[in-house]
Amino acid sequence: MPDFPQEKRPAVIVAGAGPAGLMAAERLGLAGCRVTVIDQMPSVGRKLLMAGRSGLNLTNAEPLPDLLARYGEAASWLAPMIEAFKPADVIAWAESLEQPCFTGSSGHVFPVAMKASPLLRAWLARLSELGVRIQTRTCFKAWDNRRAIIDMPEGTRELEADAIVLALGGASWPRLGADGHWTKLFPQTQVRSFRPANCGAIPDWPQARLAEFAGTPLKRIALRCDATETRGDLMIGAQSIEGAPLYHLVPAIRKALDRTGHCTLSLDLRPDLDVEDIAARLARTRPRESRSNRLRKALGLDRLGRALVSDATTDADPRALALAVKQIPLPIAGLAPLDRAISVAGGLRRDALTPDLMVCDRPGLFVCGEMLDWEAPTGGYLLQACLSTGFAAGNAAADWLARENRLPSGKPDGTSGRS
Ligand SMILES: Cc1cc2nc3c(=O)[nH]c(=O)nc-3n(C[C@H](O)[C@H](O)[C@H](O)COP(=O)(O)OP(=O)(O)OC[C@H]3O[C@@H](n4cnc5c(N)ncnc54)[C@H](O)[C@@H]3O)c2cc1C
């Protein structure tokens, strides 16, 4: 940390104590700023802790060009930030917090602890050593000429702020803190409305079918939307179908629903077998057996699988049945609501920001994390982008303060934690 008197250090408010805000705070603390992180919840990092419940997929070890492609239209914009704090840096940073990581299937990277609490504890201890103050139950309301206006249980207050970093999150799972109310702080033209991402899809099925099969998995299936195919497991819920193969298709489903009002996916119940293999297996069953028994015995299809094949065809011919197994139409009536989505699409538009994440018409106000207008599938890409943009916004705010002669030196060196 640069060595200069406390009173000469610029005051920076970071609003939002999720992974993006805490990363920005770490960079600003390392650069020698007096950092206060505020959060409206009674405790910090609630969504990060929730992500830890499923193992905390921190990033993805696939080659960088493949990883960048996961951000779709936002890839070129995010690329410099992700390259500056890439998956290897995320792993080194987690390990510097004594959280060794491992790479699981499909390149998913997890801490060995498979939860977020030890990482968050060590991170907060590091921030405390850097002099970063954390103030909970404090809602960011507005900014006004080097001041942040905040609401606390005691009433409305002002905090001195040479710079402000907003990391207020998206608008899914609002009970964890990110409620999207911050959109009112910006002109409507600067915000693309939030839509659910990584969310379930509501099948256009009779309610009775959903009720009958709620809790039933569809294992090792393939799902197609236009030219894109995804594989994995789905789960039938009380109102929607959930699962990673579906989440990856949400941008395409959303586009189709917006364009035409409907979208039909194609479900392949046995993606590892081709039509000929399936037809041959079915042909080997006894002709006197019922269709349902043949599908069960030859292909191991459960009751749900057999019901879906019955919807697709009434034909008993092995080849016709095989074709049906490989391409069951799955009509989608809509996407599950925003508050149950894992993440969001939409947020503060890129053209409202400089390339280093400062709001164009608000010098000294920086933004990072899920409140920015990007989306990505599950697989570690969400936390990767939140940490990379937090890293970028923290460094950029420190650089800006240095250019304004409010901070003796700019961005700290190194990308893997302390410098
Ligand atoms: C169930 C679940 C599982 C997930 N699993 C994974 C995973 O394994 N891998 C992965 O990459 N991603 C995962 N995610 C997504 C990931 O957790 C989020 O993308 C990430 O937490 C967003 O970080 P953020 O810092 O931008 O926002 P958040 O983590 O949402 O933090 C925003 C903070 O801002 C605070 N805030 C909001 N408004 C105000 C205000 N006005 N004043 C003060 N404070 C305010 C909130 O209280 C909150 O603490 C998961 C999400 C969910 C819901």
pLDDT digits (tens, 9 = 90+) for 299-338: 999 999 999 999 999 998 999 999 999 999 999 999 999 9
Rounded to whole angstroms, how far apart are CA atoms 39 and 369?
15
Instruction: Lowest mean pLDDT of 8-12, 34-38, 63-67, 121-125, name the range.
Output: 8-12
Top mutation candidate among 152, 184, 371, 383 for ligand 1, by most atoms within 8 Å of CB: 383
CB-based contact 168:178 (threshold 8 Å): yes
State in Å: Cα 196 to ligand 1 middle. 14
CB-based contact 393:367 (threshold 8 Å): yes
Q: For residue range 382-402, what is the model confidence (pLDDT) as tens digits?
A: 999 999 999 999 999 999 999
384, containing H or E segment: helix 381-403
Per-residue pLDDT at 414: 44
State in Å: Cα 48 to ligand 1 middle. 6
Instruction: Lowest mean pLDDT of 80-84, 146-150, 178-182, 408-412, name the range.
Output: 408-412
The pLDDT > 70 percentage for the chain reads 96
User: Which numbered atom of ligand 1 lies nearest the CA of 381?
Assistant: 11
Rounded to whole angstroms, how far apart are CA atoms 196 and 342?
8
From the number of C-beta atoms within 10 Å of its C-beta (0-12, 13-18, 19+), residue 17 rates as: buried
Q: What is the chain's mean pLDDT, rounded? A: 95
Rounded to whole angstroms, how far apart are CA atoms 300 and 294?
9
State in Å: Cα 16 to ligand 1 middle. 9
Pocket of ligand 1 (CB under 6 A): 15-21, 38-41, 46-48, 50-51, 54, 56-57, 139-140, 167-169, 173, 177-178, 182, 342-343, 369-370, 380, 382-383, 386
> HSE (CB half, 13 Å, CA atoms) of 316?
10
Rounded to whole angstroms, how far apart are CA atoms 10 and 159?
12
- The superfamily CATH assigns to domain 6-195+341-403 is FAD/NAD(P)-binding domain (3.50.50.60)
Q: What is the mean pLDDT of residues 63-73?
A: 97
Task: Answer whether residue 416 shows pLDDT above 60.
Answer: no
Q: What is the mean pLDDT of residues 273-300?
A: 95
113, two tokens: 């602890």
Q: φ, ψ for residue 238 (rounded to 5)?
A: -65, -30
User: Which numbered atom of ligand 1 lies nearest the CA of 176?
Assistant: 47
Q: For residue range 206-228, what is the model confidence (pLDDT) as tens digits?
A: 999 999 999 999 999 999 999 99
Rounded to whole angstroms, how far apart are CA atoms 15 and 139?
8
Q: What is the mean pLDDT of residues 115-128?
A: 98
- Residue identifier of the C-alpha nearest atom 19 of ligand 1: 382
Rounded to whole angstroms, how far apart are CA atoms 291 and 293?
5
CA distances from 400 to 197, 361, 407 (A): 33, 14, 9
147, two tokens: 């001041």
CA dihedral (66, 71, 75, 79) in degrees, to 10, reads -70
Rounded to whole angstroms, how far apart are CA atoms 113 and 236?
29
Q: For residue range 138-162, what is the model confidence (pLDDT) as tens digits?
A: 999 999 989 999 999 999 999 999 9
- Residue identifier of the C-alpha nearest atom 44 of ligand 1: 39
Centroid of chain to Cα 404: 34
Q: What is the mean pLDDT of residues 48-56?
A: 97
SS3 257: helix
User: Which numbered atom of ligand 1 lies nearest the CA of 44?
Assistant: 49
* Full 3-state SS string of 105-159: HHHEEEECCCCCHHHHHHHHHHHHHCCCEEECCCEEEEECCCEEEEEECCEEEEE
User: Which numbered atom of ligand 1 lies nearest the CA of 138?
Assistant: 43
Kindly list the domain boundaries of the chain, sorted by start residue: 6-195+341-403, 201-335
DSSP state of 227: T
